[in-house]
Structure 1
Amino acid sequence: MTTISWDDFANVELRVGRIIKAEPFPEARKPAYKLLVDFGEEIGQRKSSAQVSDLYVIEELVGKQVVAVINFPPKQIGPFLSECLVTGFPDEQGRVVLCVPDKTVPLGAKLF
């Protein structure tokens, strides 16, 4: 494990957003959804590709708050430009479980 400084951690913009749209991403190499995440007025909306289709259906994702890294550069994933990284943890089978706050928090709130 690599040790990082507090400043390294402080530079990662981990923010809370709400998924406002989710749709299939059939062009992805691994099964995924295209997500539109609202981070509130200051940050706005960002797109993300998320490999969470093993555990989540689209209807379940819309309205869910998630934790995402918003200060990575955009990444081209096939025909889709991902603008943030929605975070999650692998379960015992390697399926992604979303990282979510256990209570509702303001959109755009920063993890610290």
Structure 2
Amino acid sequence: MSHETQRQLFLKHQARHARQCWHEARIVFGIIVVALTVSSVILYTLGYVAPEQRSEQPNLILGIPAWVMWGLVVPWIATIAVTWLFALFLLKDDEPYVEVPEEMRRSGSHPKEQV
């Protein structure tokens, strides 16, 4: 295999790997944004009650204030479940290692400098 072909294969592999990483990063960012938004909305609506509307005894679920249960515990458990599903079904393993072409190692050049 010629040096140019090795170099092209290496760069093609790196580009595919980078695209996959960016795809996964966008999904993770989306999960974080949705989780923070849902949690913030629930905490705001349940946690900030006007003093005249507050009851003497707070609503408790398993000994935890209801606003904490619905605004923190449940969204966190849901986020953990979504993260597990993402890891099981969407996250891809890296491809087998591709050796850096000899000409690129010898010259000390980095692939992005040669594109």
TM category, shorter: under 0.3
TM-score by length of 2: 0.18
TM-score by length of 1: 0.19
Decide which structure has greater strand share. Answer: 1
Decide which structure has greater helix share. Answer: 2
Higher relative contact order, structure no. (Cα contacts within 8 Å, ≥ 6 residues apart): 2
- Structure showing greater radius of gyration is 2
